[in-house]
Structures are given as structure tokens and as C-alpha cells.
Structure 1
Amino acid sequence: MKKSIVWLASYPKSGNTWTRIFLANYLMNAKEPVPINEVHRIGMGDSIAKTYHMVAGRKVDTSNVELTLALRDKVMRGIVGNNADVNFVKTHNIRMVARGVPLVPEKYTKSAIYILRNPLDMVLSYARHYSSTVDDAVMRIGREDNGNAPDDKTVAQFLGTWSDHVNSWTKSVPFPVLAIRYEDLLEDPEKYFSKVLEHIGVPVDPERLSRAVEFSSFKALAAQEEEVGFVEKPQSAEKFFNKGQSGQWKNDLSEELIQKVKRDHGNVMKRFGYLS
């Protein structure tokens, strides 16, 4: 059985979906934008409830976290069972052992692409996405027990703090990891998406790259969502693709919350150039 999983990993609202949509457009060599609701065709999520039902042979109670964790290895084995060289898997899980179960098992893993975003900006998108206050979002990303509760469509996700999440994917990792900042993708998408392609061993064709970048631009994605909706948008959120900007925190985050984020995550922020 091949180690074929290439994780597309991030803390929520950090650019994971953008990266997946770019890859869909590039790998499918699309001449028209790939519909955003078909992006799953180039990969899957590790927390989709129906895959847990499938490996169990019955509908399982997703609120039973011990049960879904016990099924996780079968889900991973099912993903790599096609014997493909690469299987893309989206995850928001921290790279840790949860209740005795490794969330990111090395035995199935080829490599990872990790997208991180300045937490001062990320927390604003996080609050909108989960329909919480920004104060609550700042508190949540600083908690070791932070996670996403299970529902009918997804099993429980283990996030931890923003800092612990970033460190888990970028320090002492037993497989190759390409870490890319969301802000760098915004500033020069062709340069940094080229790095993504090189990481997975795909030749970079300039014309194809330019087209895929255009098709996965925030403007194009927001227009698609406006027209047809997006299946990954939470019911409580007004829209999935909201602004996609960098530096919004300077206007929208209170000084008190800015200082709390810096206190909680300053060391990792400095490591990735978010604090001087």
C-alpha cells in the first residue's frame, strides 16, 4: 500500500479552499473555470461523515467521537486503497494523537502542503464563518481544546490553538511539508502556486498556470458563489468567499484583541514574519 496522501492542511479560514480550487483548475487543465461545487473531484476531506458510514457498513452516530476516531484508520486505508501515486486530502485537524488515534498517520502520508495566515486577519474570517463574535474567535484560537463539533455531515475536528496547529505541521514533521503564507499567495499567486505544483511533482506550464490562477481568483470564486452557491458554506454564514484580503485587522480589530492575539501567538507569528 503506497504512502500516497498529500495533505492540504490549514487552520480554518487560511486559504485551504483557494488552494484546492487552484489545483482543480490546473490539474484538470480547465479551459473554463471548474465549478466550485466540483472541487472535490481532485481530493476529499478527512472529516466527511459519509466516508465513515461507508467504511462502517452502516450509518454511524457522528456525535460518538470515540467511534468515529476508531474508524479513522479504515477511512485512511480506503483513501490510499486506489493505489494512486497521489491522493489529496483536505484537513483542518492538528497533527497530533487524539485519544490514542493519530489524526495524520505517517504510514499513509506522502507529504503535506500547509497554508497559514496571519492570525490577526484569520480570526476575522473565522468569526464570520462560525457566526461568532470576534472576541469569542480570539479566545477560541487560543484554546488547546478548540475544535469543530460533529454534525450530520462531518465528524469531530481537532484544531487546538493556532500556534500549536502551525507548529504541529511545520516543526519536526516526519514527511516533506511545504508551508506557504496566505499573504504570499495573495501578493504573487503565480510564484507561490508554482511552488505547490513543484512540491507535488507536477511540471509548471506558464500559460496553464496563469489560467488556473485567473479561474481561482477571489473575484471569480465570489462570482460563482453568488450565482450557484457553495456547498461548503456553513448554513449560519452569509457567504463563504467574503473579502479575501490581507491587513484588514488594522481597521477591524480592537487594540485589546490585537494585543491578546500577539500575547497568545507572538512566538509563532515572529517565526513566520507576522511580527518584527
Structure 2
Amino acid sequence: MKKSIVWMASYPKSGNTWTRIFLANYIANASQPIPINVAHRFAMGDSIAKTYRMVAGRPIDTDDIDLTLSLRPAVLRGIVGNNADINLVKTHNIRAVARGVPLIPEEFTRSAIYIVRNPLDMVLSYARHYGMTPEEAVYTVSHVDNANPPSPETVAQFMGSWSDHVRSWTGPSPYPVLVLRYEDLLADPKGNFAKVLEHLGVPVEAERLDRAIQFASFKELSMQEAEQGFVEKSAESERFFAKGKSDQWKTDLEPRLVKRMQAAHRKVMKQFGYLK
């Protein structure tokens, strides 16, 4: 069994989807953009209920969290069972243990790509995505027990607070972890997406890189979503690709909420250059 999983990891609303769609376009190397609703074929999620039912061999109740956690090792073993060198797997789970089950087990892991975003911008996008007020989102992402509840389509996802999540993925690791800031991807997509390819061991071809970046541009993604919808959009939000910019918090997040976020996440924000 190969350690073939490369985790595409991030806290929700931090640039994970953009990166995966870039990779889908680069790998496909097509003359037209890959439809956003098939991009998941290039990087499957680790919380899709269908795969847990397949492993169980029967219908399961996704609300039974102990059951789905007990199935998780078999789900991941099934992913690496194809004997491929690399299996890209999207996750929003914290790198920790939940109810005795390692969420990101080393035995299946080749490496990881972790994307971190200024939490002051992330929390605004988080609020829109989950149908919360900014104040509710600030509380939620600062709570140590934050998790996405199960649904018929997905099993529970354990995130913890933004700070705990970032620390878990960027701290000491037994395997390589490429850490990228969302803001740096925006400022220099060529240089930083090239790092993603190099991390995966994929040759960097300049023309192909430019084309994949263009096909994964915010303009292209928002246009596709307007035309065909997007399977990853939550029922609580109007659209998935809203603005995609940095520093929105300066005009859109109330000063009292800025202070609350900074107080809750000061150390990690300072570590990643989000707080002077």
C-alpha cells in the first residue's frame, strides 16, 4: 500500500476550491476551461457520505458520528488502494484525533498542501457561505469545538477554531507540507501555483500554467456558476464565488468584530503576517 494521499487542506473559505480547480485545469491541459462541477474528479473529498456507504456496504445514518468515524480508515484505505502515486484529497478537517480516530493518518499520507487566509476576510466569506451573521461567524470560527454537522451528503467535519486548525497543519509534521497564503496566491498566481506543481512533482510548463490560471480565474468561475450553478455552494448562500479579494474586512467587518477576531487569534495572525 502506497502512502499516496496528498491532502488539499484548509479552513473553509480559504482558497481550497480555487487551488483544486487550477490543478484540474492544469492536469487536464484542455483548450477550454474544465467545468467547475466536474473539477472534484481531480481531487475527491474525504467527507462524501456516498463513499462511507460504499465501504459499509449498506445504508448508514450519517448522524451516527461514531459509526462514520469508525469507517474513515477504510474509506482512506480505499482511496490509496488504486496504487496510484498521488491521490489528491480535499479536506477541511483539522489534523488531529476525533473520538480516538486520527482524521489525517500518517499511514496513508504522502504530503499536504495547506492554504491559509487572513481570518478577517475568511470570516466574512464563512458567514455568507453558512448563512450566518458576521458576529455569529466570528464566534463560530473562534470556538474549539467548531465542526460541520453531518448531512445526507456529507459526514461530520471537525475543524476546531481557526487558530487551532492552522497550528495543526503548519506545525511539525512527519511528511512535507507546502503552506501557502491565499493573499500570495492572489498577488502572484504564477509563482505560487508553480510551487504547488513542484510540490506534486509535476513539470511546470509556462504556457500551460498561464492557461490553467486563466481558466481558474475568478471571472471564469463566477461566470460558470451563474450559468450552471455549483455543487459545492451551500443552501444558505446565494453563490459560492462572491468576491475573491483580499482586505474586504477593512470595509465590511465591524471594528468591534475585528478586535474580537484579533484578540482570539492574535498569535497565529501575527505568525502569518496578518497582524503587525
Is the shorter-chain TM-score for this pair beyond 0.5, marking a shared fold?
Answer: yes
Counterparts of 1:93-112 in structure 2 under 5 Å?
93-112=93-112
Identity %: 66
| 4+ residue runs over 4 A deviation | none
The DSSP-based 3-state class of the residue aligned with 2:132 is coil
Question: Residue 50 of structure 1 corresponds to which residue in structure 2?
Answer: 50
Instruction: Give CA-to-partner distance per residue, 1:220-276, whole Å, 9 cap, x none.
Output: 000000001101111121000000010000001111100111111110011111111
Instruction: Give CA-to-partner distance per residue, 1:92-129, whole Å, 9 cap, x none.
Output: 00000000000000000000000010000000000000
Unaligned runs of 5+ in 2: none
Offset of residue 43 of structure 1:
1.7
For residue 54 of structure 1, what is the amino acid of its counterpart? Answer: M
Q: How many Å separate the matches in 1 of 2:12 and 2:199? A: 22
Q: How many Å separate the matches in 1 of 2:236 and 2:134? A: 15
Q: TM-score, normalised by structure 1?
A: 0.99
Instruction: Give CA-to-partner distance per residue, 1:164-223, whole Å, 9 cap, x none.
Output: 000000001111000000000111111100000000000100000000000000010000
Question: Residue 249 of structure 2 corresponds to which residue in structure 1?
Answer: 249
Q: What RMSD over aligned residues (CA atoms) do the two structures have, in Å?
A: 0.5
Q: How many Å separate the matches in 2 of 1:60 and 1:175? A: 33
Question: Residue 181 of structure 1 corresponds to which residue in structure 2?
Answer: 181
Question: Residue 206 of structure 2 corresponds to which residue in structure 1?
Answer: 206
The DSSP-based 3-state class of the residue aligned with 1:244 is coil
Question: Residue 10 of structure 1 corresponds to which residue in structure 2?
Answer: 10
Q: How many Å separate the matches in 2 of 1:64 and 1:187? A: 43
Question: Residue 234 of structure 1 corresponds to which residue in structure 2?
Answer: 234
Counterparts of 1:207-222 in structure 2 under 5 Å?
207-222=207-222
Q: TM-score, normalised by structure 2?
A: 0.99
Question: Residue 70 of structure 2 corresponds to which residue in structure 1?
Answer: 70
The DSSP-based 3-state class of the residue aligned with 2:37 is helix
Question: Residue 224 of structure 1 corresponds to which residue in structure 2?
Answer: 224
Q: How many Å separate the matches in 1 of 2:96 and 2:115? A: 17
Question: Residue 25 of structure 1 corresponds to which residue in structure 2?
Answer: 25
The DSSP-based 3-state class of the residue aligned with 2:60 is coil
The DSSP-based 3-state class of the residue aligned with 1:36 is coil
For residue 144 of structure 2, what is the amino acid of its counterpart? Answer: E
